[in-house]
A = this chain, B = another copy of it.
Amino acid sequence: MVEEKKPDIGITVKKSENFSEWYTQAILKSGFADYAPVKGCIVFRESSYAIWEKIQQIVDKKIKEKGHRNVYFPMFIPESLLRKEAEHFEGFVPECAWVTVGGDKQLAERLAIRPTSETIIYQMYAKWIRSWRDLPIKLNQWCNIVRWETKATKPFLRTREFLWQEGHTAHATKEEADKEVMEILEIYRDLMENYLAIPVLVGKKSENEKFPGALYTTTLEAIMPDGKALQMGTSHNLGQNFSKVFDIKFIGKDEKEHYVWQTSWGISTRLIGALVMVHGDDHGVIVPPKIAPIQAVVIPIFYKEVEREKILGKAREIHEKLCKEGISTVLDDRTEYTPGWKFHDWELKGVPLRVEIGPKDVEKSQVTFARRDTFERIAVKEEEAVKAAKKLLDEIQSNLYNRARKFLEEHITTVKTYEEFKKVLREKGGFIRACWCLSSECEEKIKEETGATIRILPFEKEKPFSNCIYCGKEAKEVVYFARAY
């Protein structure tokens, strides 16, 4: 007889005391991810991958409604192709993984594994686009991406391989491209705030921080519990930078040749990491109901064999009712685990609502709900179970969002001096609202000295309320700084 290895126990550190270790344990013990046998990579296990599938469904539906179509381009990009746009190449070459051998042959030209697909896609656009009739082109792909990170990797937030969607469009005019950029940004904001329950600041990136090769970059930025910002998604207007390099021209209605205007945009599996960080607690992950692959789990509780059939029957009935009403529900009727073990396990995984059916519940014709966010337990008459479950899921969704919104608001600090700036960074973190003269030099010095970067330039310009935080000269804009992941 062999002794069984002990099952994992819960998270052994507090989120508030050792955030980094808490995150690692939350990810691993919930079964969201595991470290893979290749450095800097993770396995996206079923609990996290199912969230990615929900994100895909939501975004896919919305972009298709707006006329985008999915495609798939090769992940291999010949080095010469990647080199075509100089700024773009410089930006990505330090983090490319290179295939140099195929079978037993050295390749004549090495191939980058896509760090992003502008170059290979736009090479084809040059071939496909001939006249105004071919525009706009609005394509998207869901795929894997490789960036050979040299910084410390972190599950979901920074790994050498991750999953994303990348949209690539070509338009006849700058105005159309501008509009596309903003429409996508709004789809992303809606996903983040209304599904993931993570409030974001939106705006433009500075020239230093924009995408290599873009005219301008728009971004959505969230705040994590340790006070660091996280870039949640970006939507770029590429202008005519790529179309001029790749010779993507069309004959307009004016019968003249023009270069197309382009956009690209993306969100990645990084969002799963954000979700864990923002909502999780000392018991594990908390998944907001609107993005939860499993919204409720029904757990029958019986201690004596005589209670078994009655309680199981009731549990099955409730399970069926909830499913029928569109609540994604699992019945955990496994006999090899105790109810206590199950409570603990589903809490780790973050299922937002637990439905308990015990002897007392059957006796009183009630069910007992337990909220994952507040641990509040609520007994409800059986006939009101569906209605109550829906209401509770809505409340959990709002509560998670409001909690995160409050945290964000409390972590935006306005400063007028560089001393204050450094003090806030040191003591509190979060976003720092400050005035800036628009010079890259000040931006770089601040980054060098404090590690903070400009996260966004808000779309609606505010009147500066002080001189430039760094050089003391006249400020041009009010911007948001933060240290970031």
Contact = CB atoms under 8 A, between A and B. Distances in A.
Interface stretch (A15-23, A33-41, A179-187, A192-200): A33-41
A407 to B, nearest CB: 30
A391 interface: no
A163 interface: yes
A150 B77 CA distance: 19
Interface stretch (A94-102, A169-177, A228-236, A355-363): A94-102
* Interface of chain A, main secondary structure: mixed
Contacts of A124: 34, 36-37, 43
Contacts of A9: none
A288 to B, nearest CB: 20
Given A53-B70, A103-B148, 5 more contacts: A38-B111, A43-B74, A44-B72, A94-B104, A101-B110
Contacts of A101: 97-98, 100, 110
Interface stretch (A126-134, A214-222, A368-376): A126-134
A121 to B, nearest CB: 8
A70 B42 contact: no
Q: Quickly give the copy total for this chain.
A: 2
A251 interface: yes
Given A36-B120, A38-B77, A124-B43, A72 B98 contact: no
Contacts of A111: 38, 97
A418 interface: no
A139 interface: yes
A324 interface: no
A69 interface: yes
Interface in A87-116: 94-104, 110-111, 113
A336 interface: yes
21 contacts: A2-B251, A4-B131, A7-B130, A34-B128, A38-B120, A41-B74, A43-B72, A44-B73, A49-B71, A50-B69, A50-B70, A52-B72, A53-B70, A75-B144, A76-B160, A96-B103, A97-B99, A97-B111, A99-B99, A101-B110, A102-B148
